Structure 1
């Protein structure tokens, strides 16, 4: 959950910087007119996708709460009384598993769209190649001297207003890759939850939780999951 939120934040910043770099280059390269418009449309589309991530995380938060209650209920009630509750939780897990896979597929399509846009950008748009992923990361760092705070502030402001194109698009690729990896992990996580609950329902006579102490330990783990999900939601919102 946290890795998804972090990757979304990084991608949002990279998208902004990439668009700024294109806007700056557009002043001298009319051929990029359509590309700039496409990037603006893509940015809006990507933001719409990220709103879906927030909804997904909110649903995940609700599941974590229900699963915690299921653990407590299972430890204090006969198994026969827990089955209906477990079926409801299983239904939620299946929905989240399907949603994770759907979000992953949509993200893969968005990533391909981004690559098509990038392929249209003339190489000369960003001027001479001054930065590569292997280069030392000094391009956006203000110099240690002069020490004047006003000069350093000016350097930072100029860097913010004039982001490096190569660096920005590399960061954008990295951000998209991070989102894809996080969604893949979440798809696996929710499928595992489906499998766990399926096993419980297939063998309802099996003792799932043997004591209130064990239930408490599981609930504490899921409370931690809830906190992580909430932090992820707040960081994306």
Structure 2
């Protein structure tokens, strides 16, 4: 069966995230020095402590693995390269990743998360290598965009629009997916380049929001902003930097 990469919203990647995200959120991200007031009766296993045996769930896992490996890094990073002024002759992905869609770039973040979770759940080095290649491609885009740390598949002007109450489709929601994917590439795959990229992104976000007054911040937050607070807290737990 030929995979349709233009119909980019895949039930396969959705299933990966549904199966693994709770475990990752509870047990995988860097832990802050917190003393819990009530002891837990049970803790989740980390993904690398569990392996599926033959059966329907293992079959679905393998289907997800094949899907992740079928995607082209050049296509996943195409919109990022275009936004950064870098050459790209890759065929753009479709759907919400189409070059004219304001949510472009978010699936690339989901892809990194899915690969990180897949690696943690299986130890598959081929999946890890593909995601590592993508991280390096994104790092090159960030460098091309300048020293501020911004990284996205859309121009920073989208952030200006959300800050000023102009019509735009959820840029912070989209950025969150990229932050989260990069952070999980570090926490689950040990990719230090991903950590450096997301730390620079966090520095950009702090500089961008520090200059807003309370009214401007509330105006911006009227538009869906995803899990930015969560991912920045998780990053701070890993980096130890209170600025995050």
TM-score (norm 1): 0.29
Point out the structure with the larger helix share.
1
Higher relative contact order (CA 8 A, sep 6+): 1
